[in-house]
């Protein structure tokens, strides 16, 4: 008697995924409606504002796709890398680390060149860009190459108390498996809806886990590429990675259930479509924030401000109407601009006098300010 397969890739009919189209119909329709609204909202922006909005999403993508894996990137460094690549102002922003530049390069390549084939060479280039030093943390890895002969497992927990969440296909079958996956991504059956293609591509790639590190980020970059192909647009105004981060526990749970199951992946696709819907719904907020930022600078185009003040205002404007948690305080101003307390206090008071900022209503040591929209 044959043992029951432990993992989806051990199923005898792997990788012939199946799904219940009737069960997915309502979720697919909702996701398409939200996607259409996002495309409509984008038409409100002229080319320059479209670039600003795309920069906002690209920063969010970079921060959140890393945060899903537990890596917290410096937001200013990510903004700097995005601004440099999109030709936006980098005033007051730091020079980003190579790994941050590499991540943004991957995300941009996936979106801007979505119609190009996803070859093994291109994929290895993406992975090498994520690890430009050849290290993941303190550990050397095979950057730009498929993983070695060691078993690839996804585990959690302390040493001697690890829990195995997933075991990927062995190295001896990886080349053929990955070639089949990439061929499907570039030439899927015509009758498969574009959003379904994105969900299948994500699941298939992350199940193969072809690299020693970076597989999750690459799976989400592939998802972005397939969504851009579906829309026929090099820029999108919503971030699926940001939505996945908001549902991070559910993301890992549905992946584990799916990878331990059979080839019917309806539950995974239903969950994935719901994330696309929720992510696309946020596009209207992105557009509204971009327009509000443009109106703010139009109103203050003749207001005399120094570079530090502009830097702080742009940071607050990038966050949007919700603002910083607790508002902009003297302490936060000092942290952003590296000036003395007296200078910070004076420049904040000047911004209030010029109607750029207004007090949040808190006084004393907790005095704080927000954008005067």
* Residue 318: per-residue pLDDT: 81
Q: Name all contacts of 352-356 with Cβ < 8 Å and 24+ positions apart.
A: 354/300, 354/303, 354/305, 356/300, 356/303, 356/305, 356/309, 356/313
* Residue 326: per-residue pLDDT: 76
Question: CA-to-CA distance for 369 and 313, rounded, in angstroms?
Answer: 11
| 112-116, 157-161, 241-245: least confidently modelled range | 157-161
Buried b (16+ CB within 10 A) or exposed e, 4-32: eeeebbeeeebbebebeeeebeebbebbb
Confidence of residue 41 (pLDDT cuts 50, 70, 90): confident
Question: CA-to-CA distance for 282 and 291, rounded, in angstroms?
Answer: 15
* Residue 5: per-residue pLDDT: 82
Question: CA-to-CA distance for 152 and 156, rounded, in angstroms?
Answer: 13
Among candidates 8, 6, 5, which has minimal Cα distance to 265?
Answer: 8
What value does the mean pLDDT take over residues 75-89? 93
Helices (H), 21-142: 21-42, 47-67, 75-86, 98-112, 120-130
Confidence of residue 366 (pLDDT cuts 50, 70, 90): low
Is the separation of the CB atoms in 275 and 244 below 8 Å? yes
Q: Which domains does the chain have, with CATH numbers?
A: 8-285 (1.10.3290.10), 303-371 (1.10.10.10)
Question: CA-to-CA distance for 68 and 252, rounded, in angstroms?
Answer: 10
Element (H, E) at 358: strand 357-359
Strands 328-329 and 163-167, how do they pair? Answer: unpaired
| Average predicted confidence (pLDDT) for the chain | 93
Q: Which residue in the block uniquely carries the two structure tokens 């829990």?
A: 163
Among candidates 240, 211, 213, 209, which has minimal Cα distance to 225?
Answer: 240
Residue 133 tokens, joined: 């030093």
pTM of the model: 0.88
* Alpha-carbon separation of residue 97 from 77, 79, 138 (angstroms): 7, 12, 16
Among candidates 154, 161, 207, which has minimal Cα distance to 180?
Answer: 207
State yes or no: pLDDT of 97 exceeds 80.
yes
Question: CA-to-CA distance for 288 and 300, rounded, in angstroms?
Answer: 18
155 pairs with which residues across the strands? 164
- Apex 205 CA angle, 202 and 206, nearest 5: 80
* Residue 365: per-residue pLDDT: 58
Confidence of residue 1 (pLDDT cuts 50, 70, 90): very low
Confidence of residue 320 (pLDDT cuts 50, 70, 90): confident
Question: CA-to-CA distance for 13 and 256, rounded, in angstroms?
Answer: 19
Among candidates 56, 69, 369, which has minimal Cα distance to 239?
Answer: 56
């Amino acid at each position: 008697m044959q043992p029951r397969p432990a993992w989806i890739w051990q199923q005898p009919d792997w990788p012939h995924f199946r799904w219940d189209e009737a069960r997915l119909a309502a979720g697919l329709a909702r996701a398409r409606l939200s996607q259409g609204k996002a495309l409509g909202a984008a038409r409100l922006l002229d080319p320059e504002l479209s670039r600003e909005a795309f920069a906002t999403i690209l920063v969010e993508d970079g921060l959140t796709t890393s945060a899903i894996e537990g890596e917290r990137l410096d937001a200013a460094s990510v903004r700097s890398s995005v601004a440099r690549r999109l030709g936006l102002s980098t005033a007051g922003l730091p020079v980003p680390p190579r790994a941050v530049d590499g991540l943004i390069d991957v995300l941009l390549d996936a979106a801007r060149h979505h119609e190009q084939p996803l070859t093994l060479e291109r994929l290895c280039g993406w992975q090498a860009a994520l690890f430009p030093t050849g290290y993941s943390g303190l550990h050397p890895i095979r950057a730009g190459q498929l993983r070695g002969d060691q078993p690839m497992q996804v585990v959690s927990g302390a040493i001697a108390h690890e829990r195995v969440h997933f075991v990927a296909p062995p190295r001896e079958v990886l080349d053929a498996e990955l070639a089949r996956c990439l061929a499907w991504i570039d030439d899927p059956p015509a009758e498969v809806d574009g959003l379904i293609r994105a969900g299948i591509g994500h699941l298939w790639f992350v199940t193969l886990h072809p690299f020693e590190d970076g597989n999750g980020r690459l799976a989400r970059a592939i998802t972005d590429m397939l969504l851009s192909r579906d829309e026929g647009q090099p820029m999108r105004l919503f971030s699926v990675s940001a939505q996945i981060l908001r549902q991070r526990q559910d993301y890992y749970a549905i992946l584990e259930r799916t990878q331990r199951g059979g080839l019917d992946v309806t539950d995974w696709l239903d969950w994935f479509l719901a994330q696309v819907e929720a992510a696309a719904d946020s596009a209207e907020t992105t557009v509204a924030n971009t327009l509000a930022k443009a109106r703010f600078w139009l109103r203050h185009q003749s207001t005399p401000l120094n570079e530090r003040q502009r830097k702080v205002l742009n940071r607050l404007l990038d966050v949007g109407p919700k603002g910083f948690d607790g508002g902009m305080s003297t302490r936060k101003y000092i942290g952003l601009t590296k000036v003395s307390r007296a200078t910070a206090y004076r420049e904040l008071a000047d911004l209030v006098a010029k109607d750029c900022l207004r007090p949040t209503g808190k006084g004393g040591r907790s005095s704080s300010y927000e954008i005067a929209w």
